[in-house]
Structure 1
Amino acid sequence: MKRHLSGSAALGVVFACALAAAPQAIAQQPEPAPVGTAPAEAPAAPAPPPPPQGLSESVAAVVNDDIVSTYDLAQRMRLLIATSGVQPTQENLPQFQREALISLVDEHLQFQELRRVEKEQKIEIIADDNDVNEDIDDMAKQNNMDRTQFMAFLASRGIGADTLRQQLRAQISWGRWIQGRYGSRLRVGDDQIAAAQALLSAQASKPQYQIGEVLIDSNRVGGMPQALAGAQQLVQQMQQGAPFPAVARQFSALPTAANGGDAGWVSPGEMPPEVEAVLEQMRPGQLSQPIQVRDGVYILYLRDKRAGGSATLVNLKQAAVSLAQGATADDEAAARAKLTALKPQITSCATLEATAGKVQGVVAGDLGEAEVADLAPQFQDAANKLKVGEVSDPIRTSAGLHLVAVCGRRAAGGEIADKEQIERRLRGQQLSMIARRYMRDLRNSATIETK
């Protein structure tokens, strides 16, 4: 690419180069995984006028006294495209450009602040090459590559090694500084932990959700309309195949971005009310539409859902004789006698199918795990009264006669987080809020000029 343009022509080349570098996403967890669409073709960029001699590249932004070049911007856009799995189109290119420019501006502010602190306090904060290499090795491993292969993958898409290294160096260094400066000062009181435990206990009877989350910070992207528009474009791209974890890593403002947006299991009361209202209506495997909250816009991916702790789950197996609803009394008596004779021969759930299979006219099978409340009324009484390993007397249904064995029983829901887990979660939430406020203050006090 030519790196000596200025003004709108330079931005046109940034767009064109990003489209020309449209890659397939690096292998990630395909959540959700519809078939992706091919990237749109970019129109040819207009030929720029000849530049003045000696001007090597144009300026995209000035952050205090630091320059962000159009080359840096194009490189970061390519990196976002390669690592997010979002296919570039004419519609989403402005979002890529905005996100790339915001990230570069933030990184310049972070490095300026870190260098100031290093000079004043005579300490080392900025990550060295060994730290960066460790993160690259982790990324490569997640994609079934070694470091050399991973960097070659990026190079094949026109992404310089320094582009990824600079992004990782900023992330590592800034996280280290926030943790070092504020981590030891944070105090999560016993009263806070007790209140959180009480809330979790009160919510234990309600469903729990295993979610992935993305938050587009409205303050960071220039306002709520921009956050909503950006979130809608990301949802559309994920519906077309962009992996949720990759999108979360590049676009989410939450601490879970480092884990691909994985927030684990959450209970009612742990998420903003607007988010919980949507979660209650979602099914596992479903991606939400953008959800507006006070500080931005959420996107959720519901991986799994489990019943509340007050529910009882049972695993059942059965041996049955098919019998029509209008069967004669003699036919029903014969079927009942057959199952009554079979019952004492069933010594365990493990051998139920094999034992029942030896009796002509008897069909056996695993009914799986279900909440007792969801069972047919005829089976609920047996499921509640029988111990694990016990077999019922013949039960009449409209389909026939059944022997039901209870092969497992457990309370639904997961274990309530212990004190250490709750403290770690609360500390993480506080650190995240501090880091976002810190960056907001740096932006407000800086002189930032975009071209």
Structure 2
Amino acid sequence: MSAFPRPVFRVLALAAALAFPHAAVLAQTAARAAATATPPKTADYIVAVVNSELVTEVEVQQRMSQIAAEAQRNQAPVPDAAALRQQAVDALVNERLQISAARDSGLKVDDAELDRAVENIASMNKLSVAQLRQRLRQDGLDYGTFRSNLRDQILAQRIREREVQSRIKVSDGEIEDYLTAQRGNQASRLELNIAQVLVRVPEGASDAVVAEKKARIEQAQARLKAGEPFAVVAKDMSEDSNRERGGEIGGRAMDRLPDLFVNAVRFLPVGGVTPQPLRSGAGFHLLKLLSRAESNPGEVTQTRARHILLRPSAQLSVEDAQRRLSDFRGQILAGKARFEDLAREYSEDGSAAAGGDLGWTSPGSFVPEFESAMNALPKGGISQPVVSRFGVHLIQVLDRRDVQVSPEQLRSQARAVLSERKYNDAYTAWLDELRSHAFIEMREPPL
């Protein structure tokens, strides 16, 4: 970057602002930036050198304004001038570290892909590529440099995702703990109806008595395996108060049943019988699962949704993106536009070509803020603009279905959720590693 002429610094500052942590490539035309930017009141100079990349005073001032504006939008206190400046410098240094790492990584963005990115930027600003180039020339901005900066941002996004994901490790134990917790969360919502054959064992019974009782429950088990109905065997052999009802205990919430019973029937199909007798303080039990009042543990609700994604940048604030998507929503509800057409034209996401269709997804597939908003919508419903770390979304739910998923699919979903939880820590660790190997020189203002 040090080889670029001074007028290009403004373009670089705008491009660098497109690489916020965890966001995908954020790009608007330098033409729009040049049309809306105000001349800096302070002289420009180099604030920091990061490997071969530069951070300039104009960039720092722009970023300070962005941070302050974002704090005000969120009704948060605006940091004092010193803290605000430090936040801005740190953010810009982090961005330069990523661009530098991307350049050194050997990753490539071919010209065809870059052409598509430029076409999308032009379309977002209601310009043709030729008009975009003309606007750049009018503002004294080099088109080749514009493309080069855009290529850097795409590369930085790719290496960020690759390196951060490679640092996220989810163990089998963590997955098991998560699934156990999820099953536990279902306890207050699921109602089980269980029947039992109970052979009581007196407290303090001798080994001989225990053996006798065990032989009796095994006799009951043999009759069941021979095909006798559970209710018949229960009436004949059970020693509990429900024997005349075929041993049926009646529907109860899982958290109102003994853990021994819940764990024993957790994975049984309805109508299934425990394969072996259970031993409790009361005696020996054989259990039959008569019904589940709600979904099975392996059943999930999948959602088919679509979205329009706008990515905020130095030239498109979060508020501007929200207003634009609110306008889109109004057009759709009024019948003046179709969701899929707007997605194809404006969405900055790989799903744009499919009209924003994200396909069928299971719980845990999306970041929490997106999934929470999606889950709150009825079929056919369209959300208000939703802000996530990837940008601002307009979401529509197309359909829902309940499906039985395999244990492998449940584990895969758990791994995705746990990976998402670890993303921020992995991202911070990667930045720390980049810093530890980088040349970073902070410069004093010129006299």
Q: How high is the TM-score relative to the length of structure 2?
A: 0.38
Q: How high is the TM-score relative to the length of structure 1?
A: 0.38
